[in-house]
DNA sequence: TTGCTTGCAAATTATTTGCAATGCG
DNA sequence: CGCATTGCAAATAATTTGCAAGCAA
């Protein structure tokens, strides 16, 4: 849901001496157009190929890799065998993933309630927390009330 | 750390009409001997092959698959490209994973503090939670105080 | 111009599957 | 004895990589 600005993203690439090639622009736009999804490399490639059949899957992988290394994208795995991507949010904007066991739908949920827990873990385990990832598996509203 | 009883596990397999073959016994014992680790299929295979070189990787995969389907094992992914396994704990015994960004070590942390958060999400998002998975990325004690 | 990028095909890695032989119950 | 199970090799699937040609800066 959180959609960064296209030009800002390009600048962040340039700052690290990455060239703004047409392929990278197309891929980033595809991600922006679908920022409510959690696309896989293959899915990004499929979208991009519609208008630009010449773009190769390897280029998609390489672009996603760069964006992940620049913390523009986050990589997540929902257990379906491939890595998926979402735009990284700032530290202040934490969110979790609600994964429906029945239909597989993934919803995001914003909240900051983990703060207390993190403070506790930090103190108890001597572990300095930098990031977290919470997945909640269960049943979405549609699947709870079928028909 | 949570180590179930070998015989109990065999009984659970038998109850579902799975045969207690020597291969399965060896694989389960390897998992029990390393219940403080989060082994991958390949790692289980390597351990098992030391004493039983005839056991194939496919058999390891198939056994892990069965155990996962019986909820004897949980599958987790730490982002290193392969599925890892740990013994499932009962609902009452929740735990999280602390993953060190520096050395990659995975520690477990028990706690029930997610209860409040789950109640909140449940109410706010209309999502019926069945299970959860929390990964905390950061720096373990050793990596915080090197040398 | 010049080194970063790209597309393609081949290589890798994790996991699955087909099948004949084997063995648990 | 019958059917689940096994080992092996081949098949998939996701991702990576080598390399010559192309292009952004």
Q: Which two tokens stand for residue B30?
A: 């390897």
B34–chain A nearest CA distance, Å:
22
Torsion sign across C-alpha atoms A40, A131, A79, B48: positive
Q: Which two tokens stand for residue B146?
A: 């090197």
User: Would you give the DSSP letter of residue B88?
Assistant: P
A136 → closest Cβ in B121, B135, B140:
B121
Q: Does the beta carbon of A81 lie under 8 angstroms from any beta carbon of chain B? A: no
pLDDT one-digit tens code per residue, B3-56: 899 999 999 999 999 999 999 999 999 999 999 999 999 999 999 999 999 999
**Residue labelled with tokens 């296209």:** A6
Q: Which two tokens stand for residue B127?
A: 């999502």
pLDDT one-digit tens code per residue, A15-48: 999 999 999 999 999 999 999 999 999 999 999 9
Reduced to 3 states, what is the DSSP secondary structure of residue A144? helix
CB B48 within 8 A of CB B55: yes
pLDDT one-digit tens code per residue, A101-135: 888 899 998 877 788 888 888 998 999 998 889 99
Residue B1: pLDDT band by 50, 70, 90 thresholds?
low
The count of other CB atoms within 10 Å of the CB of residue B128 is: 16
* Residues 100-139 of chain A sitting with CB below 7 angstroms of strand C: none
Output the average pLDDT for chain B. Answer: 92
The structural domains of chain A, with segments of one domain joined by +, span 6-87, 96-144
In chain A, beta strands by DSSP E: 39-40, 73-77, 83-87, 95-100, 106-110, 128-139
| Phi, then psi, of B98 in degrees rounded to 5 | -100, 115
Residue nearest to nucleotide D13 (CA to C1'): A81
Q: Is the CB of A81 under 7 A from strand D?
A: yes
**B6-87 CATH fold:** Arc Repressor Mutant, subunit A (1.10.10)
Residue B110: pLDDT band by 50, 70, 90 thresholds?
confident
Pairs of CB atoms within 8 A across A/B: 105
Q: What is the CATH number of domain B96-144?
A: 3.30.1490.190
Residue B64: pLDDT band by 50, 70, 90 thresholds?
very high
Say which nucleotide is closest to residue A16, CA to C1' distance. C4
Distance (Å, whole) CA A143 – CA A103: 7
Residue B91 pLDDT: 62
Give, to the nearest 10 degrees, the angle between helix B41-51 and helix B22-33.
110
pTM of the model: 0.89
């Amino acid at each position: 849901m959180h959609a960064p600005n296209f030009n800002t993203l390009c600048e962040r690439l340039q700052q690290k001496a990455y060239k703004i090639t047409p392929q990278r622009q197309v891929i980033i736009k595809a991600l922006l157009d679908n920022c409510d999804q959690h696309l896989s490399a293959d899915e990004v490639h499929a979208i991009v190929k519609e208008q630009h059949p010449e773009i190769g899957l390897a280029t998609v992988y390489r672009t996603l890799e760069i964006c992940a290394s620049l913390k523009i994208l986050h990589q997540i795995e929902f257990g379906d065998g491939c890595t998926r991507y979402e735009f990284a949010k700032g530290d202040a904007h934490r969110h979790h993933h609600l994964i429906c066991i029945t239909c597989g739908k993934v919803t995001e949920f914003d909240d900051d309630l983990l703060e207390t827990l993190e403070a506790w873990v930090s103190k108890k385990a001597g572990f300095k927390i930098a990031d977290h990832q919470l997945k909640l598996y269960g049943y979405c509203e549609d699947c709870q009330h079928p028909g």
